Chain A
């Protein structure tokens, strides 16, 4: 029995040292430090979407255009004025996904232009059945653009890192440059490192 004890203890020790992988529920995701995190992404999307839903512009547009949704375009990216390399396109795309899925607006794919053009050219050639080919001249122009800026003010001192972050987004009308909707989500976090490492 005693002979078995040491190997068993060794195995238990090794098992305890083994790496683990666990899935994190995004709804309960929290930030790890003062930097931008995936939890902030959800917070920003939720904040912007509730503001869009509360804003009367989209309901008014539907009423004025016989239920037709406004055609929108994403700005190339959210202007990043922070001190972090953030994939800001992700924020825009997340909001676009929610707006399409919730039936708020239609979007023109700003990144599909080259691929679509190539396909149209190919289908217009003799390689394709012209009767069934996609027609040229059907692209829909966007009437509104969704854009924004993400900025931060950080103060780092010793082990303390204080980060204020602000995301401001708006939708402007291409024809008039009038801003039809705007909102901001802001938060401030303090992260303190342990004195020992």
Chain B
């Protein structure tokens, strides 16, 4: 069942065209990977889907309803949550307060005790550090907190923007296991990464962006290494 549809999206970023005619879709219980080198347009795409940017033309539909004109705070209420690049946790709030504010929307508040238990079960380290300020956490712990905070909003679709950035291999492995567990709970997942190998291994479907256009799409197991290199680097 398709939950997110992007149709013919064109986005301009500061006077220059960042995305050209992007069309993609995500189903529930599916991990979709969006790959591309720096500057390919991944961040712009995610900012537009989450409502931080407005498209020039095209449409974005979530559960069949158009969301491309909505602000981020309304989109979160509908069940679409972004875990932003660079984690962006609240440094002056404690771990627990970060998670609590994650359940800010009215629907999320009702189920916050249960969700908190889920998050602590996924990330026991967060429970250990629950009264510590966000700024005192390590990079990996901050990433866990950012994911936990996103989960508190009861999302139906969760988008991860470069979660492995700056983290060691053990932490990355743990995070990807978590991503799979999240998929198993019935959510749709969009993974945006620069780490091509790992995300292609994890994803059910992938899109590769190059200079703002989709250069390759399909099921990762059907891709050849040649195809991926060409789509990624354009050589």
| A and B associate | no
